[in-house]
């Protein structure tokens, strides 16, 4: 190949710029030019490109987010052309043609479930594609861990450690709402590493009475505070998840939010202890990448570039037990579910007396 394109789409995370730098530098050493597609599938459809070279990517591996920009709503084969009247069109063929006209022969697409499902469609439409999974949720079957997860865990741990000082000072219960959607990896790992007393996960509905009894037990033992790490999609037994809003035009239509506020009111009412909610939100996705994400991003970027330059496409590349792997684009994507019973972090947490609300 003489020229390829790279794109980042979906929610941003730390480690994306490491992928971009690795692809660009490795491509240059093979005599391959690289075009960056801007703002995810918006740039793919609307022809927003930039040429990338070593000057474009100098030192970007230490920066969070993505220099190419991103978008997490647009779908190229169901692209909104007149939302008010519900008109959508398949823009994949015309978008591929536009890239062909500037000499692009293959693509590397970095993103989550929705992004890589569209990448599969583009590959099947005739443009060779290699996909790279990224998500702070760590719930994609193509890689474990996924790019962005390790940094998000560290961000969560740092935030909760700072929260402990005010919790101690005021003898408070703090309910920390964490991202992850229907996957509990981020809440489990971040909650455990930060010393949370109670961890509530979407894979296991909690019993409110058990949670409140644990709060009473901890506070009466002489400890001055309680930290509860609650996944945004966790829910009480017999109840539904707490949904902040629904976006009809998004791949992930449910936007979870509000569990910390609801749970804080309930705990304070039942136990009498002053309880405060804290929503970490997008703070978990931001900031400089940790070393693990820089290394993983670079390795996967180089692996993807080598596959593409060898005329091999239609793969998702990832890591498993620190070994690089490739898998074919699946027709149906199934998220990786956290197995609470088999996960050694969860088992260690239970052995140490951390409560899971059951």
Residues designated as active site: 137
Closest CA relative to residue 354, chosen from 233, 174, 218, 153: 218
For the four alpha carbons of 208, 228, 257 and 113, in that order, the dihedral sign comes to negative
Closest CA relative to residue 51, chosen from 103, 5, 97: 5
Query: Cα separations (Å) of 50 from 1, 5, 129?
Result: 18, 10, 19
Alpha-carbon distance of 105 to 96, in angstroms, equals: 10
């Amino acid at each position: 190949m003489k020229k390829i394109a790279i794109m980042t789409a979906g929610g941003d995370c730390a480690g994306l710029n490491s992928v971009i730098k690795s692809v660009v530098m490795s491509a240059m050493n093979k005599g391959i030019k690289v075009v960056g597609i801007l703002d995810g599938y918006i740039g793919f459809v609307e022809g927003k490109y930039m040429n990338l070279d070593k000057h474009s990517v100098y030192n970007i591996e230490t920066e969070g987010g993505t220099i190419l920009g991103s978008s997490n709503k647009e779908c190229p084969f169901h692209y909104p052309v007149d939302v008010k009247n519900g008109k959508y069109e398949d823009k994949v063929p015309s978008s591929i043609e536009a890239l062909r006209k500037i000499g692009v022969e293959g693509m590397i697409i970095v993103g989550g479930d929705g992004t890589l499902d569209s990448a599969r469609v583009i590959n099947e439409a005739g443009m060779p594609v290699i996909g790279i999974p990224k998500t702070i949720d760590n719930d994609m079957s193509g890689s474990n861990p996924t790019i962005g997860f390790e940094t998000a865990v560290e961000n969560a741990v740092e935030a909760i450690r700072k929260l402990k000082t005010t919790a101690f000072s005021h003898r408070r219960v703090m309910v920390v709402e964490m991202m992850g959607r229907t996957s509990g990896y981020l809440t489990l790992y971040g909650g455990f590493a930060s010393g949370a007393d109670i961890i509530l996960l979407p894979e296991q509905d909690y019993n409110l009475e058990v949670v409140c009894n644990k709060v009473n037990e901890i506070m009466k033992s002489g400890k001055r505070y309680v930290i509860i790490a609650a996944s945004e999609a966790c829910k009480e037994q017999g109840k539904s998840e707490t949904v902040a809003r629904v976006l009809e035009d998004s791949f992930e239509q449910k936007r979870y939010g509000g569990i910390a506020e609801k749970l804080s009111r309930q705990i304070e009412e039942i136990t009498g202890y002053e309880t405060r909610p804290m929503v970490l939100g997008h703070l978990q996705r931001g900031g400089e990448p940790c070393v693990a994400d820089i290394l993983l991003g670079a390795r996967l970027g180089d692996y993807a570039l080598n596959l593409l330059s060898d005329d091999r496409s239609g793969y998702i590349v990832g890591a498993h037990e620190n070994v690089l792997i490739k898998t074919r684009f699946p027709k149906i994507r199934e998220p990786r579910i956290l197995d609470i019973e088999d996960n050694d972090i969860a088992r260690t947490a239970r052995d140490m007396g951390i409560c899971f609300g059951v």
